Amino acid sequence: MKGAVKVNNAIGICLGASTISIARRSGEKIDYSRINHDGKVAQVFREILERNLPASLGITGRKFRNMVTIPTLSEPEAVELAYESIKDSYPGMDCIISAGAETFLIYLLDSEGRIRSVQTGNKCASGTGEFFLQQIKRMDLNVADAINLAETEVPYAVAGRCSVFCKSDCTHALNKGIAKGRVSAGL
């Protein structure tokens, strides 16, 4: 997507399966936030719009983007546009991972930052963001704590193909006294 336009007051919204993610650009500053919608997508989306308009608006999301009657972007289009706007700061990326509550995708990029291939996990919940959140919650951790602990630990091997086996691996590891950081790194 050559020539992505940088707008001074713009909002990008991803209508996800469990959250609505928002990127706000004001001048050169970009702020990110995420709101759990608890299944009330339309209500939360409306509240976001009421607080943030007028602004240039871009909407994407694999699950709910088709519920709105305004033009939206497919996730691959949004990924390419987003990378185009930041690739000077992160040159040479060869993939972008989309790990949502219900899906896990890897967008493989060519040398110009365009998507050349997409790989997806199976339909098992163990590869999704929601499963990860459930597991770290069981360890009484939030996302930031889980990441901080995982950064300095050797990952504990957990099953990646089945959420039942993965959850069992996590439970057994913790019962054996394996550090939460190792389990988090494994997840």
Residue 5: exposure state from Cβ atoms within 10 A (0-12, 13-18, ≥19)? exposed
Does 88 reside within a domain?
yes
pLDDT of residue 117: 92
| Cα 116 to Cα 24: distance, rounded to the nearest angstrom | 28
pLDDT of residue 126: 55
Map the chain to HEC letters.
Answer: CCCCCCCCEEEEEEECCCEEEEEEEECCEEEEEEEECCCCHHHHHHHHHHHHCCCEEEEECCCCHHHCCCCCCCHHHHHHHHHHHHCCCCCCCCEEEEECCCCEEEEEECCCCCEEEEEECCCCHHHCHHHHHHHHHHCCCCHHHHHHHHHCCCCCCCCCCCHHHHHHHHHHHHHCCCCHHHHHHHC
Mean pLDDT for the stretch of residues 111-136: 77
Same domain, 106 and 30: yes
pLDDT of residue 2: 46
pLDDT at 180 over 90: yes
Are the C-beta atoms of residues 12 and 23 closer than 8 Å to each other? yes
Final residue belonging to a domain, choices 120, 145, 160: 120
pLDDT of residue 3: 47
| pTM (2 d.p.) | 0.59
Q: What percent of the chain has pLDDT over 70?
A: 89
Same domain, 58 and 142: no
Q: Which CATH number belongs to the domain containing residue 29 in this structure?
A: 3.30.420.40
Same domain, 71 and 151: no
Structural domain that includes position 52: 9-120
Q: What is the mean pLDDT of the chain?
A: 83
- pLDDT (tens digit per residue) in 99-118: 776 677 889 999 999 999 98
Find tokens 């607080």 and name the residue.
51
Same domain, 51 and 143: no
- pLDDT (tens digit per residue) in 168-177: 999 999 999 9
Same domain, 182 and 111: no
Does 1 reside within a domain?
no
Does 4 reside within a domain?
no
Same domain, 155 and 173: yes
- pLDDT (tens digit per residue) in 149-174: 998 999 999 887 677 788 899 999 99
Angle at 159 between CA 153 and CA 164, to 5 degrees: 120
Same domain, 37 and 95: yes
Instruction: Work out how many domains the chain is built from and give that number.
Output: 2
